[in-house]
Amino acid sequence: MCLTWPALPLLVFQMACAGPTSGSDHRLDSLPTVVRDFWVDIYRNTIAVNKKNLEISELTLKGLLITNLFVVETNYYNVLLAREQVKVQQKAVELGDQLLREVRRQVQVGTWPSSRSRQPKQRWRVQEFSRLELREPMRGEE
């Protein structure tokens, strides 16, 4: 007969209390000290295991919080970087516009050869296209 944990202490207690005769006056004090210590140790062991499980749960929670904070911080800096890149590219477009205006003015005045006037305009169109591509993803983030 194989007894599992919940049935074993109950069986030991019943055997100790039953005694040799059926009407005897046995008490819990008559249990062997090993059995009593065994019960106490089981409860102490359960408490110790539960304390360790609590500590494990707290450390797991702490680890999850640290991980989440790291992800949030990383994403925050990624957003800042993207905004700065957009500012830099907007400034590049502004400088391209300024160059185009200067070239147009020089062409009107006649100090700029007309064959070279296409280069700044083509550069400006490329920059304008890039700027429009960059604005579309930023609208979704706002």
Domain count along the chain = 1
pLDDT per residue as tens digits for the range 63-103? 999 999 999 999 999 999 999 999 999 999 899 889 888 88
In a domain, 7, yes or no: no
pLDDT per residue as tens digits for the range 4-35? 455 555 555 555 555 555 444 545 555 566 66
In a domain, 91, yes or no: yes
In a domain, 127, yes or no: yes
pLDDT per residue as tens digits for the range 103-122? 888 888 878 666 555 565 66
Secondary structure in 3-state letters for the chain = CCCCCCHHHHHHHHHHHHCCCCCCCCCHHHCCHHHHHHHHHHHHHHHHHHHHHHHHHHHHHHHHHHHHHHHHHHHHHHHHHHHHHHHHHHHHHHHHHHHHHHHHHHHHHCCCCHHHCHHHHHHHHHHHHHHHHHHHHHHHHC
pLDDT at 138 over 60: no
In a domain, 4, yes or no: no
In a domain, 46, yes or no: yes
In a domain, 105, yes or no: yes
The domain in which residue 53 lies consists of 32-141
In a domain, 9, yes or no: no
